[in-house]
A and B are shown apart, each in its own frame.
Chain A
Amino acid sequence: MAIFPDDQKTYIHNLQYDISITMPASWKYFALRTLNAVIVLLVVVFLISLLFSHLADEQLEGTVAEEVRGYAQGLPEEMPVEERRQRIEEYRQERIDHYGLEDPFWEKVLRRTWDTFIFDFGDANSMQVPGGEGSAVIEIIMHYLPRTILLFTTSAVIYILLGIAVGLKAAQVAGTRLDKFLSLFGIVTSSMPMWWVGMLAILIFSFGLGWFPASAYPFPVGVEGWEYYSGVLRRMIMPMATIVLVLFGGRAWAVRNMVTSVLQDDYIMAARAKGVPEKKVIYGHTLKTASPPIVTAAILAFLMSIGGAMITEVIFTWPGMGYLLRRAIFEAHDVPVIMGIVFITTFLWVVGYLIADLVYGYLDPRVEVGAEKKV
C-alpha cells in the first residue's frame, strides 16, 4: 500500500493532461521538469531548516555547554579564579562563534538550507556511527541506507512484475469472478497499513509457527559467505513478503484499470478488425499504449510506499533508515540525524519523481515529438 496513494492518481492525471493539451517540445519538457524538481527540493530543504532551526540551536547550545565543561575541567587547578572565569568565557564565545549560534536567525536558516542541500549534515547530537569512528550524520545514514535499499528494491522488483502480470491477466478476463476478486483484493490491501500486516505476519509466522525470527536485529555478525547471506535472507523474507503482499494487489489493480481503459478504446477494435492477431493486440497495441502510465505509476507507487516501508522496518526491527529514524525520534532526539533522513528521503522522492516524468516523456511519442511539427 502506498502510504499516500491519492497523489498517484493525480500524478497520472496531471501528466496525461499536460501532454495531451499543452504538448510541449521535448527539450522544453525535460528542462521544465528538472527545474521543477530543483525548486521542490529547495522549498523542502528551506522548510526543514526553518522548522528545525530552533531545535538544532537548542541542541548546539547543549553541545557548547558540554564542551565548556570539559574545557573547564582541563584547566590547571592553581589558576586564579578571575583568570579561570575569563578563559572559560573566551572559550565559550569561541565555540558559539564556531557554530554561528549568535548569527541572525535568517542567516542561520539560509546557511542550514545550503549545507543540507549539499549533503553536509554536520555531526549527530548524540548518535554514533555504528562500528565506526565519529558521529558524522552522513556516515550514520550511509551505514543504514544500504539495508533499506536492499529490502526495498528486491521487494519492488517482485511486486511490480507480479502486479503487471496479474493486472494484465485480470484485464483480459475483465468482469469475471477472478477479476472481481482481484479488484476487491487490491482495494482491501490498499486500505491496510503495510506495517500492520507486518505485525500480523510476526504473530502468525514467528509467534504461532516459529518459522522466522520476529526481529531482524541484530544482523549476523562474525560470519561470512553463505552463512551471512542465508542469515540476512532469513531475516528478510518476512518483511519482503509483507511489502509484496500489501503492494502487488494495488499495482495489479492499477495495471488492470489502465489496460481495460485502453482495451475499450476504438483503436483496439480497429486493430482487431484489421485481423491483427490477439497476442499482438494485447502485447503490442494495448501494452505499448498503456506502458507510459504503467511504468510511471509503478515508479510513483514505489516512492509513495517509502513512508509505509520505513515504518515496516520499525516493526521488523530491520536496521535500515526507518529503524534509524524511529530511534532518532524516540530515543536519541537527535535533530541533525532526523534532518538528514528527511532530506535523503525527500531527495530520493524528487529524483524518483523526475525519473517518472522523463520515462513518461521517453515512452510516449506524444511527448517525444515536438508540437511544432503538427500539421
Chain B
Amino acid sequence: MNGRTILDVKDLSTHYFTSKGVVKALDDASFELKGGQSLGIAGESGCGKSTLAFSLLRMVQPPGRIVKGSIMLDGVDVAKFTEKEARKKLRWQKISMVFQGAMDIMTPVYTVGHQMMEPLYYHKGIKGKKGREICYRYLDMVDLDTDLFHRYPHELSGGQKQRVIIATALLMEPDVVIMDEPTTALDVVVEARIMNDLKRLKHELDNSMIFITHDLSILAEVSDNLAIMYAGWIVELGDASEIYKDPKHPYTQKLIAAIPRLHMDMDRLEYIPGAPPELTDPPSGCRFHPRCEHAFDRCMKEVPKEYDVDGVLVKCHLYAED
C-alpha cells in the first residue's frame, strides 16, 4: 500500500448557506495523501479544518454542502456519492474519524462494546463472539483493559474514552483515519500519553492519517506532510520538516513563531494581530492581507495562485514569478 496515492482531493469547496449569507468555510482545497503517510492540518479555529474533515466523510450538515471539487479515494470520486452510498461504502469502511471533544462522544445509554460493534455489524455483519474478539484486540492495542467492553461511557475517564474512540476508528482498518483535535479535551499528562500511543500506532499500522489541530507543536511529532489553513484556504502545503524549518507563507511564519519553546524568552512570544475574517464576507484578494505585514497593493486585488517554492506549495503573491 505504501507509496501509492490513496486520497486525491482537488479544488474542494464547501459552503454553508445560512440566513446571514454564504459562509465559504472551505475554498479550492487540493492535496493528496499517500499510503502510510500522515498529513497534518493546522490553523486557527474557524479556518475550515473541521469542515474539510467532514467533507471527506461526506458528513457536512445542512445548510452546508460541497459545491465544487472531487475527492478521489482509490480511484472513485466519493464527492459524487449519494448519502446512502456514503454511509455504506465510505464512512468507517474507507475513512474513519476521531472526533474532537471526548466528553460526550459516546452515546450514554449504550455500553462501550455495543458502540464498538456497531460499525462491524452494519458494514460487515460481524456480531457476537467474533466481533467481540476484534474489539478486544483493538482495545488491547490502545492499552485498555478489555473489561471496559461491558462498561457504560460514564464509567470511563476522559482518556479512556478517547482511547476507545481511537480503537473504534481503527477496527475497520480503513484507508484513512482522521484525527480531529484528538487530545484537546484532555489534560496535559493524558494528552502526552495518547500522543505517544498515536506515534506508536502510526508505525505499527498501515493506515494513512490526517491530523487536525490548532496546536502546531503536536503536528511536528506525527505528520509527514503539513497543510496550513487560513480562512478556508490551504495557504501552504508541503513536507512537514521543510515547513518547520523554513516557513514560506507570512501566516505560517507567524504561526510557527507563536509556538512557545523551552528556554525561550517569553516576552518575545509572537502573536498575530487582528482576528480571523468573517467567512460570509472574506477580504478581497488574499484573505490574509488585513493581518499581513508584507501586504502590498496586489494582495488586496488579486487572489494569489499557488507557487511551488522548494517543493512546497505556497498561496502568496510574495512568491509570484511575474
Using a CB–CB distance below 8 Å, which chain A residues touch chain B?
23, 265-277, 280, 285, 288-289, 291, 364-366, 369, 373-375
Contact = CB atoms under 8 A, between A and B. Distances in A.
A264 B319 CA distance: 44
B208 interface: no
Which among B91, B123, B165 has the highest number of chain A CB atoms within 10 Å? B91
Contact of A275 (B92, B104, B106, B165): B92
Interface string B89-118: 001110011010100111111100001001
Given A274-B118, A365-B154, A369-B155, A266 B101 contact: yes
Contact of A273 (B99, B110, B123): B99
B107 A273 contact: no
Contacts of B115: 271
Contacts of A374: 155
What 7 A-B pairs come out closest when comparing CB atoms?
A267-B107, A275-B91, A274-B119, A365-B152, A288-B109, A285-B107, A366-B154
Interface in B228-285: none
22 contacts: A266-B105, A267-B104, A270-B105, A271-B115, A274-B96, A275-B87, A275-B91, A275-B92, A275-B123, A276-B118, A276-B119, A277-B87, A277-B122, A288-B109, A289-B109, A365-B154, A366-B108, A366-B154, A369-B152, A375-B148, A375-B151, A375-B160
A368 to B, nearest CB: 9
B57 interface: yes
A366 B108 CA distance: 8
Which among B118, B123, B148 has the highest number of chain A CB atoms within 10 Å? B118
Contact of B59 (A273, A280, A369): A273
B109 A265 contact: no
Contact of B108 (A271, A272, A276, A289): A289
B157 A375 contact: yes
A105 B160 CA distance: 63
B287 to A, nearest CB: 28
B309 interface: no
B51 interface: no
Contacts of A365: 108-109, 152, 154
B183 interface: no
Contact of B122 (A274, A366, A369, A375): A274
B201 interface: no
Interface string B52-68: 00000101000000000
B139 to A, nearest CB: 14
B156 interface: yes
Given A265-B104, A270-B105, A276 B99 contact: no
B109 A364 contact: yes
Contacts of B193: none
Contacts of B109: 288-289, 291, 364-365
B105 A267 contact: yes
A284 to B, nearest CB: 8
A277 to B, nearest CB: 7
A270 B91 contact: no
Which among B92, B108, B118, B157 has the highest number of chain A CB atoms within 10 Å? B108
